[in-house]
A = this chain, B = another copy of it.
Amino acid sequence: MTSQTIDDLPTPVLILDRAILRRNLKRMSDRMRDAGVILRPHLKTAKSIEVGRMAVEDHDGRITVSTLAEARYFAGGGFKDILYAVGIVPTKLAAVAELRRQGVNLRVVTDNLPVAKAIAAAATDGDSFSVFIEIDCGGGRAGLPFPELPGLLDIARILHDAPRVDLAGVMTHAGHSYHQSTPSGIAAIAEQERQAIVGAAEALRAAGIPCPIVSGGSTPTAMHSRDFTGITEMRPGVYVFNDLDQEFIGSCGAGDLALSVLASVIGHYPHRNQILVDAGALALSKDISAQEFHPKVGYGTVANAPTPDMAVVACSQEHGFIGAEAPLPYASLPVGGRVRILPNHACITAAAYDRYYVVDSDLDGGKSVVDVYDRINGW
C-alpha cells in the first residue's frame, strides 16, 4: 500500500502491529467459540472499521460501541447489530431511531424506570427500539445491583409490554476484574459476573418475560472465566491491542501488546538522568492504571528498552520525561532518535489519534508501514 517505513513518520504517532493484533483477535475468537459464546467485541478500544471486521471473523458480526459517533461510523461500515453500551438518555433516542430506520439494529442500555418509560413512549411514534437492562455484578459502575436487582421486573415489564420495543436481554461489565492480578482472582470475578447476569436473566424468565441475550464481558473475565454456562455473548474490548495494565493483571503476555506510540527524543538531561521525548500527556494520556501493580511504569514503558525500568516517569502537555535507574543510553538515543512507548491503557492513549500506522512484525520486524486504519473519536 505504501513504501513508507516507520522512520518516515512524523512523531508522535500511533503504531499498530498487525501480527500481534491478529494473534490477539484469534486467541479471543477461538476461546469464545470453544466456549459456545458469541463474541460481541467492544470496539471502544479500536474505534476502527478494519479492526472491527477482523474481530468479528468466525462470529456473527455483532459489536459493541461506547458512543453514538462510533455507532454511526460502524453502521456506515456495514455493521448491523450494534450495542451502545452506555446508559441511554431520552434525548439520544432520536439519534438511535435514525440509525435504526436505516436498517441497523442499534441496541441501547438502561437500568432506570423513567428511561424505560421514555423508550416505550418514543416507540409509540412508530420507531422501534431494542433494549438491554444493565446489571451491576459487583463492579459498582452502572446497572441494577445483584442480587437485589431493585426494580428489575418493573423496568422489564414496561419494555416487554411496549409495542415495537424488543427487550433483548441483560448485560453487565465486570470492571472490578481489572483490579485482580491472578488467574484465580479474575476467575472468581468472572463467576460473580456469570452468576449476576444469569441470575438476572432467570429472574426475568421466572416472571414470564423472555430474555434471549445474556451478555457479559471484560477482557480479563473473558480470558480467565472457567464457566460460561448461561451466558450467550461476551463483550471484551481491550484484548484487541492489550496494554501494560492487561499484561500486569495477566490477561496477556508481554509479547501481546499491539499498540505503541512512536516518539522522537527532543533533549538530553544527563544531570538528572532524563531524556525528553515529544510524546507527553496528550500523546500518551495521563492514565496511570498500570501503576496499580507496577508503579515504575509511569505513563508508559519504552519498548525493547536498552536498560531496565526505562519509562515515561512524568509528562507535561507535549513533553514526556524518560527516566531509568541506570544511566540512560544517551549515545544510542541522540536527539532526533526514536523510541516506542507501550501504553498503560490502550483505549485512552489511542483516543488522541485519528489513525493507526499499521506495521507487521511477522513480515519485516515491523519496519514497513503496511496499512493505515482510521479511527472514530469524539461523540
> Which residues of A are in contact with B by a Cβ distance under 8 Å?
10-13, 44, 66-68, 86-92, 95, 110-112, 114-115, 118, 140-142, 145, 150, 175, 264-269, 271-272, 276, 278, 281-283, 285-288, 316-319, 321, 334-336, 347-348, 351-354, 377-379
A335 touches which of B13, B89, B377 (Cβ 8 Å): B89
How many copies of this chain does one complex carry? Answer: 2
The 5 closest A-B pairs by CB, nearest first: A87-B266, A89-B336, A286-B286, A66-B318, A112-B335
- A150 closest partner in B (C-beta): B271
Q: Are A351 and B348 in contact (CB under 8 A)?
A: no
Question: Nearest-CB distance from A175 to chain B (Å)?
Answer: 6
Q: Are A352 and B336 in contact (CB under 8 A)?
A: no
A91 cross-chain contacts in B, Cβ below 8 A: 10, 264, 336
Q: Are B92 and A10 in contact (CB under 8 A)?
A: yes
A276 cross-chain contacts in B, Cβ below 8 A: 87, 141-142
Report if A95-B267 is in contact (Cβ < 8 Å); known contacts: A318-B86, A335-B87: no
A283 cross-chain contacts in B, Cβ below 8 A: 379
Q: Are A89 and B264 in contact (CB under 8 A)?
A: yes
A287 touches which of B66, B89, B281, B321 (Cβ 8 Å): B281
- A175 closest partner in B (C-beta): B316
Question: Nearest-CB distance from A295 to chain B (Å)?
Answer: 16
Looking at chain A's contact residues, is the secondary structure mostly helix, strand, loop, or mixed?
Answer: loop
Q: Are A319 and B86 in contact (CB under 8 A)?
A: yes
> What are 10 A-B pairs with beta-carbon distances under 8 A?
A67-B318, A86-B266, A91-B264, A110-B335, A114-B335, A141-B276, A141-B316, A282-B351, A285-B285, A286-B348
- A95 closest partner in B (C-beta): B10
Q: Are A348 and B379 in contact (CB under 8 A)?
A: no
Question: Nearest-CB distance from A157 to chain B (Å)?
Answer: 18
A281 to B115, CA, bound (A): 24
A347 to B86, CA, bound (A): 26
A347 to B281, CA, bound (A): 10
Question: Nearest-CB distance from A250 to chain B (Å)?
Answer: 20
A353 cross-chain contacts in B, Cβ below 8 A: 378
Report if A348-B266 is in contact (Cβ < 8 Å); known contacts: A335-B87, A379-B12: no
A266 touches which of B142, B316, B336 (Cβ 8 Å): B142
Q: Are A44 and B281 in contact (CB under 8 A)?
A: no
A138 to B89, CA, bound (A): 49
Q: Are B285 and A140 in contact (CB under 8 A)?
A: no
A317 to B145, CA, bound (A): 21
A352 to B378, CA, bound (A): 7
Residue from A283, A288, A316 whose CB has the most chain B CB atoms within 10 Å: A316
A115 cross-chain contacts in B, Cβ below 8 A: 335-336
Q: Are B336 and A267 in contact (CB under 8 A)?
A: no
A352 cross-chain contacts in B, Cβ below 8 A: 351, 377-378
Q: Are B348 and A282 in contact (CB under 8 A)?
A: yes
Report if A319-B10 is in contact (Cβ < 8 Å); known contacts: A112-B335, A286-B348: no
A281 cross-chain contacts in B, Cβ below 8 A: 287, 348
